[in-house]
Each structure stands twice: as C-alpha cells, then as structure tokens.
Amino acid sequence: MLRLIFALLVATAAVPAAIAAAAAPVTQFDGRWSVSIVTDKGSCDRAYRYGLEIRNGVVSYVGDNAFDISGQVNRSGYVHVRVARGSSYADGHGRLSRDGGSGVWRGVGSGSCSGTWTAERRPQG
C-alpha cells in the first residue's frame, strides 16, 4: 500500500478531461524518467525512487504491475498521474521540462500522506 502511494509520483493522477483532450501526442517528454518521492506529511515511508516511461504523452510504470498507473503529460509539460491499488490511490501533479520536473502528491485510502516529487530524464541507450 505504501509503495503504491509513492509510486504515484513518480510521479506521478487522473487528468481532468480538458487537459487530457489537450494532451494529444506529446513527444518532447517521451523517454525514461527517474522519479524521487518524498513524504512530508503522514506515516508513509519517507522516500522512494521509481522508474517511469512516457510515450506519446502517456505515463507508465517501468516495473512490476502490482498497481495501476494512469497519467498524461500535456504540451506545456503539465503532468497529472494516479497510482491505484484496490480502494487506495495517490494523485500527483506538477510540471516537466526537457530534462527534469517537480510537483506534489497526496495519498487517499488507508493512511493519508502527502509530499513532493522530483523527476529527471534518463539517458537513452
């Protein structure tokens, strides 16, 4: 459960309909990203680092499928991601630039936690 909340911000939330519609294929943010998630409030684990991939503006998790991730990046780099497992989920949002990004997240379910996240693009190879 706690890993679920942190995997989010890697991120990474459900994108409002208007943003999702405006998020048509976005390739400038495509690639692999490393996301660091830090808990500032609540009893969740203090920090995690996860790998994500963005392809055509769609965010996905690089790892096992123990939870569901849905997210989008729009043309200006606004990212919104939701990570869910059962009835618990965490939402995150923020902004990406060419090689990095940052934002906030909040978990809902068994144990409410919140914090910040930072991302950095991984080299292609």
For 2-35, what is each residue's pLDDT tens digit?
A: 454 444 444 443 334 334 444 445 689 999 999 9
Q: 14 with 116: CB under 8 angstroms? A: no
SS3 70: strand
For 107-117, what is each residue's pLDDT tens digit?
A: 987 668 999 99
| pLDDT tops 70 at residue 105 | yes
For 59-101, what is each residue's pLDDT tens digit?
A: 998 887 777 888 999 999 999 999 888 888 889 999 999 999 9
Q: What is the pTM of this model?
A: 0.75
**Are β-strands 114-121 and 68-73 bridged in parallel, bridged antiparallel, or unpaired?**
unpaired
* CATH code of residue 69: 2.40.128.120
The count of domains in the chain is 1
Residue ranges making up the domain that contains 50: 2-121
